[in-house]
């Protein structure tokens, strides 16, 4: 890469490395620029999701109506008695599975195994699309069967609907955008676009995908479990 | 801790499989907290510990933050760290707001929310199951929270 010419000596580690990286007249991040930019985008996205979750914390604390019972509302019956929160648990496992296949895709990318890289990216996109499909089912059930609206619901605090549609909607939008992004990257890899440039793109796309999984970890804990 | 160089983040496959299995186990554990209906301080402790373990392993291993140089790691983790202050401020403010609402606006802190079963049952007893519009849903909600 380009920095190989600029730095002929191996950069120092730890605190000395930190000071060197920030005080010398040179680039601060020893990673491809695309990766640094993706990380900075993800940091800004962290702020957006944190604003949503802090807003949720505030309305949840201040509402004087009882908070609707998530465990029962998101229960699903497969013929027998309803199993609490089962759909959300399955969605969580689907997203973790997709994170695993993405990690493998990144690894095969660095090994320049083009076939396996594309295969695992497509698998990841498939799991992502499955997640969005299950979310569409969940939204339909809540809107049609349980009469949950952004401004009211039959069970308790009306803020439940606002938080639910905004937070899961924004996350679902991220997953949908991620699926499109992954398909686009897979197509370009298959077309040979990165054969000379290197396969850093797989890691950059992977960072975005793992971030989407990371956000779901927090939504699962704060919105569905607590 | 090896430094990431221009060769990129290449690690043995084994570590990904191990973390993958670990994430499955921890997710199953946090679902078990709900399934076995653990309540109170124990629920909060378990859910938040499992959440932090999962988040930590995703960022450290899957997103390779563990192997990145300190300049990049601090750029990633530093600014979000400030958000802990926002969370603390809003929690203090929320506590004050809810306190004044209960103290001066006559709300009953002991009202219990309806479950979907109770709501559907109440609709059937009123014989209007098929016409559950938002207006009626809201009226139903009022009726239950008032008494």
What pLDDT is attached to residue A7? 52
Shortest CA gap A151–chain B (Å): 9
Tell whether A12 lies on the interface with B, counting CB pairs under 8 A: no
Q: DSSP H helical segments within chain A, as ranges?
A: 3-6, 14-23, 33-62, 70-73, 86-110, 114-140, 159-190, 200-219
Cα gap A102→A88, rounded to integer Å: 21
pTM of the model: 0.85
Cα gap A148→A68, rounded to integer Å: 11
Chain A residues in contact with B23 (beta carbon < 8 A): 96, 99-100
Query: Which residues, including other chains, have CB under 8 Å from residue A111's CB and lie 6 or more apart?
Result: B10
**Residue boundaries of the structural domains of chain A:** 1-30, 32-225
Q: Which two tokens stand for residue A64?
A: 């004087």
Q: What is the ipTM of this complex?
A: 0.85
What pLDDT is attached to residue A6? 54
Tell if the CB–CB gap between A64 and B101 is shorter than 8 Å. yes
What pLDDT is attached to residue B7? 55
Chain A to chain B Cβ contacts (< 8 Å): 219
Tell if the CB–CB gap between B16 and A103 is shorter than 8 Å. yes
More confident residue, B104 or A9: B104
More confident residue, B1 or A90: A90
Grouping H, G, I as helix, E, B as strand and the rest as coil, residue A74 is coil
- pLDDT, tens digit, for every residue of B21-45? 999 999 999 999 999 999 999 999 9
What pLDDT is attached to residue B59? 94
Question: What Å distances lie between residue A33 and A2, A200, A206, B63, CA to CA?
Answer: 10, 10, 15, 16
Grouping H, G, I as helix, E, B as strand and the rest as coil, residue A14 is helix
**Residue boundaries of the structural domains of chain B:** 13-85, 102-147
| pLDDT surpassing 90 at residue B135 | no
Q: Which two tokens stand for residue A67?
A: 């908070």
Closest to A104 in 3D by CA, of A116, A92, A93: A116
Tell if the CB–CB gap between A3 and B6 is shorter than 8 Å. yes
What is the C-alpha R_g of chain A?
21
What is the SS3 string spanning chain B?
Answer: CCCCCCCCCCCCHHHHHHHHHHHHHHHHHHHHHHHCCCCCHHHHHHHHHHHHHHHHHHHHHHCCHHHCCHHHHHHHHHHHHHHHHHHHHHHHHHHHHHHHHHHHCCCCCCCCCCCHHHHHHHHHHCCCHHHCCHHHHHHHHHHHHHC
Question: What Å distances lie between residue A60 and A54, B13, B47, B138, CA to CA?
Answer: 10, 42, 17, 19
What pLDDT is attached to residue B77? 93
A68-72, A172-176, B103-107: the lowest-pLDDT one? B103-107
| pLDDT surpassing 90 at residue B137 | no
Tell if the CB–CB gap between B35 and A13 is shorter than 8 Å. no
How many of the other CB atoms lie within 10 Å of CB of B25?
A: 11
What pLDDT is attached to residue B9? 80
What is the SS3 string spanning A154-176?
Answer: CCCCCHHHHHHHHHHHHHHHHHH
Cα gap A68→A155, rounded to integer Å: 5
Contact A8, A1 (CB under 8 A): no
- CA-based torsion, A48, A21, A198, B15: positive or negative: negative
Mean pLDDT (chain A) is: 91
- pLDDT, tens digit, for every residue of A115-170? 999 999 999 999 999 999 999 999 999 999 999 999 999 999 999 999 999 999 99
The top-level CATH class assigned to A32-225 is mainly alpha
| Smallest CA–CA distance from B12 into chain A, residue | A107
């Amino acid at each position: 890469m380009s920095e190989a010419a600029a730095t002929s000596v191996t950069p120092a580690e730890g605190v000395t490395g930190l000071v060197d990286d920030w005080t010398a007249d040179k680039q601060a991040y020893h990673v491809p620029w695309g990766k640094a930019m993706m990380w900075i985008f993800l940091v800004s996205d962290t702020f957006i999701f944190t604003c949503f979750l802090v807003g949720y914390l505030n309305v949840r604390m201040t509402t004087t109506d009882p908070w609707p019972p998530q465990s029962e509302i998101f229960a699903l019956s497969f013929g027998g008695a309803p199993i609490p929160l089962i759909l959300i648990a399955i969605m969580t496992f689907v997203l973790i599975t997709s994170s695993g296949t993405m990690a493998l895709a990144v690894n095969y990318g660095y090994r320049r195994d083009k076939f396996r890289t594309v295969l695992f990216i497509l698998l990841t996109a498939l799991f992502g699309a499955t997640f969005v499909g299950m979310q569409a089912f969940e939204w339909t059930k809540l809107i049609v069967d349980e009469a949950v609206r952004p401004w009211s619901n039959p069970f308790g605090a009306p803020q439940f609907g606002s938080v639910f549609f905004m937070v899961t909607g924004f996350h679902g939008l991220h997953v949908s955008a991620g699926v499109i992004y992954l398909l686009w990257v897979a197509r370009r890899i298959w077309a040979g676009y990165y054969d000379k440039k290197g396969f850093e793109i797989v890691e950059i796309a992977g960072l975005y995908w793992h971030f989407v999984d990371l956000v779901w970890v927090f939504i699962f804990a704060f919105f569905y479990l607590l | 801790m090896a430094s990431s160089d221009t060769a990129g983040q290449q690690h043995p496959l084994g570590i990904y499989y191990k973390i993958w299995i670990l994430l499955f186990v921890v997710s199953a554990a946090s679902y078990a907290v709900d399934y076995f209906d653990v309540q109170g301080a124990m629920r909060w402790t378990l859910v938040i510990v499992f959440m932090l373990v999962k988040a930590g392993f995703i960022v450290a291993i899957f997103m390779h933050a563990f192997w990145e140089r300190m300049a990049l790691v601090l750029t990633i983790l530093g600014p979000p760290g400030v958000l802990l202050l926002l969370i603390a401020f809003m929690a203090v403010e929320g506590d004050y707001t809810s306190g004044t609402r209960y103290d001066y606006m006559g709300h009953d802190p002991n009202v219990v929310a309806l479950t979907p079963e109770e709501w559907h049952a109440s609709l059937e007893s009123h014989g209007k199951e098929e016409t559950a519009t938002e207006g009626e849903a809201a009226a139903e909600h009022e009726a239950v929270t008032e008494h």
